[in-house]
A and B are shown apart, each in its own frame.
Chain A
Amino acid sequence: MDLKKKISRRQFIGQANCAAVGTASLLSSLLSLRLTAGAASASNFTDYKALVCLFLNGGNDSFNMLVPRQQNAYNDYVDVRGGLATVSNNGDYGGGLALHEPDPSGNDPLALLPITSSLQDSPNGAGYSDFGIHPDLPYLKTLYDQGDLAFVSNVGSLIEPTSLVQYNDGSKPKPEGLFSHPDHQVHWQTLVPQVRGPSPKGWGGRMAEVMSHANQQSNIAMNISLSGANVLQSGTSTVPYMTDPGGVVELSNYGEDTSLGQDPILSLAVDDILGRHYKSIYSKTLAQANRNSIETSIAFKSALDSLSTPFDPSASFLNGKSQTYKRLNMVSKIIEAGIDQGPLGLKMDRQIFFVERGGWDHHNALLGPQSNLFIELNDAIQIFWTAIQSMGLQNNVVLYTASDFGRTLTSNGSGSDHAWGGNHFIISGNNNNGNGNINGGEIYGKYPDLALNNSSTDLGRGRILPTTSVDQYMAELAYWYGVPNSEISTVIPNINNFSSSFVSANSPLGILNS
């Protein structure tokens, strides 16, 4: 029992009250609003930037998304994944979990798509350059080869850099609730893995607060969620605006214009009822939330209606498309409205989007279901990125992935279990000519040794100890987004524990040009 994880009572009470004693009080947020209101015309943003989080809920088995091809490393991969996978003509999978070596003929549906990384071919990397991408992600390979996409390998939530020895002897603090879905999901979003639960608030919410001088001309929240409530975008005084791919939902009959079927009598009563001050915290929260929803939906709808191609959720090209496709399509439309500084535009300087896709918890069948999800992602990212490129905004937008955790290299038979470190990717406009955003076509971090019981990162049964923290990965994005150095530790509280390994002062991993 001595080894059980603990939090102190002080810490618990601190968590419970941190909102109250920090900058969170209603009073201080009101004062800062007033302060910024006076400076409304002094917005110093000359550019537009949007960050798009694609959260793969459930724990993507990303050691089958990015696979080593150097012969010894590949052999280790095949061994630890229980042998090569097989697939029959009718789509039944068998064998182990390992994907196949590239197939020049293009006939093998399990054959990896080859890529190379010079960064990995060094003592600080894997020591070799040949890798493969999952066969159902061909668009990612295209982007990678064009320099528009970078991978980051073996990322996970950490409090401090931690070696296997330090993990085992307990000399470094460990994230709470290791290997559990809700804990790891929340850690990715709060970046405070030493605290269990969402009370530290999300880093996207904190970023909106330190960047409150952005979006002065707009009443729409900086954070927009296409996938409902989430921790990432909830700050101490900010919440995301949530919309969905079906378009803007308004309150029926609300409004003054009877010619549109609107009902002024109802509107008056609703204003009266929702504008009232309630004692009950539930009534108060409900009334405020519903009033905000009504007001925001009106502004949002007029902005989307005023696009050159107004948003149409029933457009034929969306028929039969996946939820991820529809959501990312909606994001591209909101970006188009957001960058519009005209009278009907949303007039945004900075936006953060949250798109979630569930279904990655592949305990008892990995290959088939993951293949289906990758096909969906590949298709959705392609429609999205093509739209961004056609607007010429590829250097204004960054899409990145997040997920609970990587999964065990060893299998449960035909699936894998909860683990820790995993692989991710970032997409933005390439810097091939020195004027772009992302130094793509590379794998950052250190791709781990996949041999079971390897000395440096295996915690047992192929649970890989992360060598790049989520903080480093997110700081890369935060700096690009424009968080000043003075505020970076507000947004990413543990970042200074990792600063000694920064590639440069405002690019921890060297991926994005801030």
Chain B
Amino acid sequence: MFRLFLLLLASVSTSLGADFINSATAPQSVTQDTTVSVEVSYQASTNRDIVVVFQLNSSPWTNFGFERISVSAGSSTLNIPLAIDANTPIASGIYKFVVYIAPTSGAWYDRLDTKTPQNSVSCIPALESFSITLDGAEAELLLQDKIDPIEIIEFSSDLAIWTPVARNYGDQWETVFPHAYALSKVAGSTDQAMAMAMGEKGFYRKRSTSTINASSNRELASRFLMQASFGPSRAEIDSFPNINSNTFGSEGDGSFLNWINAQITISPTYHRAHWRERSDPDYQNLSNQTLLIVSGGTGTFVEGESISQTVGNTVVTGTISTIFMDYPTENSEQDPVLVSIAVSNQTASDGSSTNFSATTSSGPSNIDTNRADGTSASYSVYRIVNCLPNEVGHNSDYGQQFSFSRGQTVYHTDWRNPLPGYGGLFDIDGDPIDENHPDWISATHFTNFRGEPIPMTGLHYDNCIANPFYADLNRFEISYPVSDTRQMVWFKAAIDAPDQLRQRVAWALSQYFVVGELGNNQSQAVERWLNYYDIFTRHAFGNFRDILDEVTWSPHMGYYLSHIENKKADPDKETYPDENYAREVMQLFTIGLWELNEDGTLELDSNGDAIATYDNDDIFEFAKVFTGMRRPLSRGPNTNIEELSNNYIDPMRVRVDWHDFDSKDLLDGSTLGPFNQNENGVRSDVAGLLDHLFNHKNVPPFFARFMIQRFTVSNPSPAYIEAVALAFKNGLYEGSGSGSRGCMEATIKAVLLHPEARSASLAYDPSHGKLREPLIRLIHVARAFGLTSKRTYGWFYFKDLHDTILQAPYESPSVFNYYRPDYAPNGVISDAALNAPEFQIHNDVSALQLSNALTTLIVHGIAGGDDGNIGAKNFTDSVLDFTYEVNEFLPDDITDLVDHLDLILCAGRLTTENRAAILVAANHPDLNLSGIDKVKYLAALIALTPEFNTLY
């Protein structure tokens, strides 16, 4: 009171018409996670803001409570409520309250007067904290049925850092990482008991809230689409199943499931097919066809074909049953040569027992036969390719839209340098463009950084759209390296493909079975990357085992993890099988490092120790399995695929004599093999090990945690992991799915439909949610406002994102993906022993690069900026469409505009304070923006908020 008196005395000297804090009173101590009241007596000359801050009383002056209210001219005394953060460190005397008056939305340095009602404030633990010391005894904490929508038990060892250990947001308690104590039912009641480990000392407290902000149907749908697609748009939200229903999002409502089911039925957008249809005009559709590939010789043998041979005067006929080949050298570029054929069902023209001669001879030239059609085949080398089921051919309607390589030659998009006999110029509707039309200009307007003209043959302009450099242009093309085509296909699919869920699942899987550009050969290639990626597109709702199989046999992966051309040990040469794939297939693709329980918690042995899943001896052993897998043969001179030097499209083939046929000791002590020393034996060996790993109990929880982290939350509870793991294991989620272990459809449904993904009340749990992937944040903005390309063929060319936002398709820096699942940034996340993978690529540079890229995208489209460069410099490549926003809300409905932007960018999660801050900017008298510029300004500002960048 004495202090208050002095302050009042000080205010006597104030004069009317000025702005003052006359007095302020605040408590000497506060309690974590409570609201205190600060009494402020002020005088304002006009509309002003009163700001109350609770902060450290020394550098770095961190705020642990902040409130800003607007007042009108006059003087008054207010009781301003101020929320004290739940994690304010417990300490004595290190905080202070500050109250100041400032111009509307003015900053600290604009303040007109300041008071510090308390300068040495303490923070004490929350009153409901209860201390339990467990000293050598097992103890249980009784978790009673909850009353509030969400209740959380938190643990602290030092009263400073509180970590959630259990929570209840529905009808039962669950434990959460990293503690994950066991729960048990209490007999005779619906309460539960949580066992706490012996020997741990610390404190527990319960937090709860009775007020959970209700979300509208559209907000719920928008939040779901942020998880399940590359981002919501107004149209997607409006067309969401059941969106206007009263029961939307309530228990038993099937709207989200219906959306998933509808997505699954959409025919897949295959990246490779998309590219082939628009690329080399000579690509043919050979789906499911058997392709005979010939190399050398004057004829061919085909298994199953009838052949004949004249032996003396007798003509012997038969059917080729097997063709044996050999490899003349170890040079992997050499094709094999025919050694012999086996002929079955032989019959001699004279009824004698005369047989084919020389069918097992040592050299191809000794085989001399006649085929059924009378032609002769002296010898040949051949193989048969069973073409991939998703192989498609070029579509003449699309022309030559992509640049591509054929052998060593690069053919450009047909507006530049079409393949002779093909191509021509098409506009965005696919109509031919007349190069002699006066609208068509042969451009030398643009120069590169050396001042040389950029080799563009044409700029097509018709209806004018604003462009910062050539206001009368609406089409132009910028040359791009062929290798960037794969990203352009990816951007097209992410932004425009209707099968959004499939594309998101494929994107997640591509971060699990990683092949990155760094360390890969022939980074200029395109088709092999798309072909590999389509393993995930194709099996997104299929089976994990099929994915594992295709990945393992893919020459693209074979090169990346170096099991291609891998040979069994050669004691004479001191060479050993490469261990790379054997290691990573366990560590990353199947079982992980530690034995897990079904709920993802560590399995412990009788000593309480975690158990490693494998050791280096196992790696050494399994490396023997991945031997004898060879680069596929070229499809031949008239290849039907992109072969820059070799075929990396078809699965690897087998070379029997390179394979180690010894039996292998498996992880469970059983033995794999030995198998027959032939091709089938090699395939059985590989399949046997993959089955062994696939059936390991770790795979369901290990993969479940990964998928949950990619879609919904960074720190799933054991219950959530277990639900997803069970869906994977049983192949069923609430009745849907294949019923087979590894069912992706069931797994995805469990990830997206589990209460932990859907419950809005979990927003109260500070550890719930995740930082969104930077690439998805960027694509979200593109989708939210219908990014439209200004290129002739509609491609989106985001450039060098891996250098700026540290994430771009096909650009993972290593097989360990862009980030580790267990990455924890310093600060509250690390202190609580929680994870946030995406923060690994959120650094001082990339954080601002992404913010700048989002601003550039919103304001200019895909354009080059000084920072956060997302497009070619000095060109606007694609633009967002804000027509709806301008027409619907401007000039007057600023509040509705902000709420609309909040809905599609943040799922309506903008906090009251940040919404107010956005509105302050929007209504600022100095903001001289109107129309579309104002919409862009506000959208860009919202993209800077944590609510847009995170998901919870």
Contacts and interface: CB of A to CB of B under 8 A. Distances in A.
Interface residues on chain B, size class: 35 or more
Interface in A278-308: 278-290, 292-294, 296-297
Interface in A16-67: 16-17, 19-21, 24-27, 30-31, 33-34, 37, 57-58
Given A8-B608, A285-B825, A415-B562, A17 B574 contact: no
A415 B917 CA distance: 59
Given A25-B161, A250-B848, A411-B575, A289 B825 contact: yes
B769 interface: yes
Interface residues on A, range: 35 or more
A110 B566 CA distance: 26
A277 interface: yes
A276 B767 CA distance: 18
A3 B842 CA distance: 39
Given A26-B161, A239-B826, A293-B844, A82 B574 contact: yes
A476 interface: no
A182 interface: yes
A21 B828 CA distance: 13
B839 A285 contact: yes
Contacts of A10: 199, 608
A408 interface: yes
B556 to A, nearest CB: 14
B769 A280 contact: yes
Given A5-B615, A265-B926, A281-B829, A290 B851 contact: yes
A87 interface: no
Contacts of B868: 249, 252
B355 interface: no
Contacts of B828: 281, 284-285
Interface in B499-522: 518-519
Interface in B895-952: 911, 913-914, 917-918, 920-921, 924, 926-927, 937, 941, 944-947, 949-950, 952
B746 interface: no
A279 B911 CA distance: 11
A17 B845 contact: no
Contacts of A180: 583, 587
A33 B599 CA distance: 41
B609 A286 contact: no
Contacts of A269: 917-918, 920-921, 941, 944
B845 A244 contact: yes
A82 B259 CA distance: 59
A352 to B, nearest CB: 15
B731 interface: no
B867 A252 contact: yes
B582 to A, nearest CB: 10
B844 A271 contact: no
B830 A277 contact: no
B94 interface: yes
Contacts of B609: 6-9
A27 B90 contact: yes
Contacts of A277: 63-66, 85
Nearest to A283: B946
A267 B86 CA distance: 28
Interface stretch (B54-62, B301-309, B464-472, B636-644): B54-62
Interface in B80-114: 85-86, 89-91, 94, 105-107
Contacts of A289: 825, 839, 842, 844, 847
A255 interface: no
Nearest to B825: A285
Contacts of A411: 574-576
Given A8-B607, A197-B822, A283-B947, A249 B714 contact: no
A321 interface: no
Nearest to A38: B58
A180 B814 CA distance: 13
Given A266-B921, A417-B578, A293 B848 contact: yes
A364 interface: yes
A271 B107 contact: yes
A2 to B, nearest CB: 10
A243 B846 CA distance: 9
A269 to B, nearest CB: 4
A488 to B, nearest CB: 23
B805 to A, nearest CB: 11
A16 B59 CA distance: 29
A131 interface: no
A249 B849 CA distance: 7
Given A9-B608, A21-B157, A79-B574, A417 B580 contact: yes
B865 interface: yes
A296 B843 CA distance: 12
Contact of B852 (A252, A270, A410): A252
Interface string A459-491: 001100000000000000000000000000000
Nearest to B623: A417
A405 to B, nearest CB: 12
B610, B832, B947 pick with most chain A CB within 10 angstroms: B610
A33 B59 contact: yes
A12 B309 CA distance: 74
Contacts of B913: 272, 276
Nearest to B614: A4
A273 B945 CA distance: 7
A415 B578 contact: yes
Nearest to B157: A21
B848 A236 contact: no
A417 B834 contact: no
Nearest to B156: A20
Interface in A357-412: 358-359, 361, 363-364, 408, 410-412
Given A26-B160, A273-B914, A296-B844, A412 B577 contact: yes
A228 interface: yes
B806 interface: yes
Residue with the highest number of chain A CB atoms closer than 10 Å, among B94, B579, B607: B579
Contact of B615 (A3, A13, A225): A3
Given A242-B843, A272-B917, A290 B60 contact: no
Interface in B153-203: 156-158, 160-161, 163, 178-179, 197, 199-200
A468 to B, nearest CB: 22
Given A244-B845, A286-B946, A4 B917 contact: no
B608 to A, nearest CB: 4
B578 A280 contact: no
Contacts of A127: none
B610 A297 contact: no
B268 interface: no
Interface string B382-424: 0000000000000000000000000000000000000000000
B312 interface: no
Interface string B753-785: 000000000011011111100000000000000
B841 interface: yes
B612 interface: yes
Nearest to A268: B107
A37 B576 contact: no
9 contacts: A4-B615, A5-B615, A199-B833, A228-B845, A276-B914, A289-B844, A358-B519, A411-B574, A418-B583
10 A-B pairs with least C-beta separation: A283-B946, A363-B562, A16-B833, A27-B89, A242-B843, A9-B608, A6-B609, A412-B578, A282-B950, A4-B612
Given A1-B669, A252-B852, A252-B868, 8 more contacts: A12-B610, A58-B814, A199-B833, A268-B920, A280-B769, A297-B844, A415-B562, A417-B579
Interface of B: 56, 58-60, 62-66, 85-86, 89-91, 94, 105-107, 156-158, 160-161, 163, 178-179, 197, 199-200, 518-519, 559, 561-562, 564-567, 573-580, 583, 587, 593, 602, 604-605, 607-617, 619, 669, 714, 763-764, 766-771, 806, 813-814, 816, 820, 822-834, 836, 839-849, 851-852, 855-856, 865-868, 911, 913-914, 917-918, 920-921, 924, 926-927, 937, 941, 944-947, 949-950, 952
